Amino acid sequence: MPELIRLWHLFRPYRGWMLGGFAVALITLLANVTLMAISAWFITAMAVAGAAGVAMNYFTPAAIIRGSAIARTAGRYFERLITHEATLRQLAGLRVWFYRHLEPLAPARLMAYHSADLLTRIRADIDALDNLYVRVLVPVLVAITAGLAFFVFTALFDLGLALLLLGMLLIAGVLLPWWGHRLGKQPGRRIVEIQAELRQAGIDGTQGLSELLIYGAADSHARHMDALSRALVAEQARMSQLTGIAQAATGLTANLTLWGMLWFGIPLVHDGSLAPPQLAMLALFSLATFEAVAPLPMAFQQLESTLTAARRLFAIVDTEPAVPEPTGPTPQPRDHGLSIEGLRFRYPSPVAGSGSGGSDSPDPGMSLGSSSSSGMHSDTKPPAILDGIDLELPPGRRVAIVGATGSGKTTLFNLLLRFWAPEAGSIRLGGEPLEHFPGEDLRRRIALVSQHTHLFDTSIRENLLIAAPEAPQGLLEQACATAQIHDFIAELPEGYDTWVGETGVRLSGGQARRIAIARALLRDAPILLLDEPTEGLDAVTERALMDAVQRLMTGRTVLLITHKPVALAQMDEILVLDQGRVIERGTHAELLKAPIYPRLLGLDLDA
């Protein structure tokens, strides 16, 4: 179980709390067993002393009983407190650890995963690891330590009885958990997987509800969810059956031990090697000791669920980022010009089964992790999306990219943002290779306005502040005024505090796009990437937005993807892309005489 060793290392910062939880759990158990044993001894000793008419000291046992009772009660409280504290700290640490590993994988490596699957890993899989410490680690350590103490204590009276107790504790603490783990392995793994699939289907169904209704597919989706729910219930029923059998078997073993103690202990009382109160004490003591092993069958039965959750997390954490972070010092570019030479790139071929909800196998993360830097997965090479692109973009120059859908325009932006690494060729920023820049440093120098602006489910102000967290209100308003959205915001009853809704649903496409432009202005980056910023807007909005875009472009190095002649006429150079190659280049006026460019702009229709 290498996962357990890795988790143990991850839990290193919390070992103090974990040790504290173990110590208190052990003290609580020992207090409880002492209480039972001394009570049994005391009652019997009092009865024997009363029958014989002799006096006995009852102060000491009474004090031990009271002390044990108080220790047991207080112990239970502190055990909960400390073990929960340890667990919550572990989970909080794991979340940060997981998120740190997730970040460099976005967006290239995470494409293989469904967003619901990622959410499940971040939430449910990390939560499932709370089992490990509270339900597995503490009970196992307590059972081993206490079991040895119980054996030694019983052996002080009789070795045979001690061996009997040890044997029965081993049955309940080792044999039954092993059996539970074996039989619980498959349902445990399936439960985690089906739960993930169910969440994925639920999110897909909710997000695509309109489509399901329009195309009459709601029933079949409901049947799919129903089948998954039934499968989950069936696996959970198997687990519950196992739990019931294991609990009954533990109870039976404990009671058989009590009987065994009496069976073998009575002859010892007869031959005088054991006093009657000692037999009563050992009998009840042996029964109480099973509290140490009672949680183990259930813990091991659920161990597979916990390990499956851990494996799913490690699968992502072990994935190599598509573009490794440089280890050398951060380069200082001489300016913010871009130079692209012989750029070639292709996306990795899809992995069979990738993106399927809960399954680990085949695991998209693992497969991607073992891929080469170009991200290849199979022997058949997918077609090159960019093939031999050359482009000089000195500081302040504006270049437009034009091309049919799927010609590779957005892909070029993805390479400039270092989301993917080129297969061949180079990109330089201010004379320095792009791969020498740490991702964060590079992205500070580039602002992007894409077709699909993501707005977070928060206020307009917060959405703007992600570009410049320290920006004062005046600067926000100035950026919004330049982006021609300030007047609209000012007229809203809550102004900049207006909630934009999930993915900005309360704003129109044009308003969202203008907020994206204001964000880019606030970012104040010297390089600007614009991916069809006016796409899908009506003519009036488009004109207003183009004005905002013009202001944004002033003084910056710009790459603009667009098919709007008005915008193209103002660019220094235009590249026409076709299947990843530059097939025409020049100014708008020059290209109007070229064969492809006018067709792409729809300008040849009248001819």
Ligand X SMILES: Nc1ncnc2c1ncn2[C@@H]1O[C@H](COP(=O)(O)OP(=O)(O)OP(=O)(O)O)[C@@H](O)[C@H]1O
Which residues make up the interface to ligand X (CB under 6 A)?
A: 111, 347, 385, 403, 405-411
Q: Which is nearer to ligand X, 247 or 371 (CB)?
A: 371
Q: How far is the CB of 542 from ligand X (least distance, A)?
A: 17
Q: Which is nearer to ligand X, 410 or 498 (CB)?
A: 410
**Residues 507-543, buried b or exposed e (16+ Cβ, 10 A)?**
bebbbbbbbbbbbbbbbebbbbbbbbbbbebeeebbe
What residues form DSSP beta bridges with 341?
Answer: 426
State the CB neighbour count (10 A cutoff) for residue 502. Answer: 10
Q: How many Å apart are CA 571 and CA 146, to the nearest integer?
A: 79
Amino acid symbol at 549: V
Helix (H) or strand (E) holding 391: strand 386-393
User: Backbone phi, then psi, for 425, in 5-degree steps?
Assistant: 85, -175
Q: Is 354 left (phi over 0), alpha (psi -120 to 50) or beta?
A: beta
State the CB neighbour count (10 A cutoff) for residue 589. Answer: 8
Q: Which is nearer to ligand X, 90 or 407 (CB)?
A: 407
Q: How far is the CB of 107 from ligand X (least distance, A)?
A: 8
Q: How far is the CB of 561 from ligand X (least distance, A)?
A: 7
- On whether the CB atoms of residues 599 and 425 are closer than 8 A, the answer is no
Q: How far is the CB of 604 from ligand X (least distance, A)?
A: 19
- Which pairs from 406-410 meet CB under 8 Å and 24+ separation? 407/577, 407/578, 407/579, 407/580, 408/577, 408/579, 408/580, 409/531, 409/561, 409/577, 410/531, 410/561
- On whether the CB atoms of residues 402 and 574 are closer than 8 A, the answer is yes
Q: Which is nearer to ligand X, 385 or 485 (CB)?
A: 385
State the CB neighbour count (10 A cutoff) for residue 440. Answer: 10
Q: How far is the CB of 185 from ligand X (least distance, A)?
A: 36
Q: How far is the CB of 102 from ligand X (least distance, A)?
A: 18
Q: Which is nearer to ligand X, 385 or 480 (CB)?
A: 385
Q: What is the DSSP letter of 124?
A: I
Q: Which is nearer to ligand X, 93 or 598 (CB)?
A: 598
Helix 138-155 × helix 159-170 angle, to 10°? 160
Q: What is the DSSP letter of 78?
A: H
Q: How many Å apart are CA 453 and CA 439, to the nearest integer?
A: 21
Q: How far is the CB of 305 from ligand X (least distance, A)?
A: 33
Q: How far is the CB of 403 from ligand X (least distance, A)?
A: 5
Q: How far is the CB of 603 from ligand X (least distance, A)?
A: 18
Structure token pair of residue 132: 């490990």
CA atoms within 13 A on the CB side of 503: 4
Q: Which is nearer to ligand X, 87 or 356 (CB)?
A: 356
Q: How far is the CB of 208 from ligand X (least distance, A)?
A: 20
Q: Which is nearer to ligand X, 188 or 580 (CB)?
A: 580
Q: Which is nearer to ligand X, 86 or 561 (CB)?
A: 561
- On whether the CB atoms of residues 86 and 17 are closer than 8 A, the answer is yes
State the CB neighbour count (10 A cutoff) for residue 269. Answer: 16
Q: How far is the CB of 565 from ligand X (least distance, A)?
A: 17
Q: Which is nearer to ligand X, 191 or 338 (CB)?
A: 338
Q: Which is nearer to ligand X, 361 or 405 (CB)?
A: 405
State the CB neighbour count (10 A cutoff) for residue 492. Answer: 12
Q: Which is nearer to ligand X, 312 or 377 (CB)?
A: 377
Q: How many Å apart are CA 111 and CA 105, to the nearest integer?
A: 9
Q: Which residue has the tokens 């919390």?
A: 14
Q: How far is the CB of 368 from ligand X (least distance, A)?
A: 12
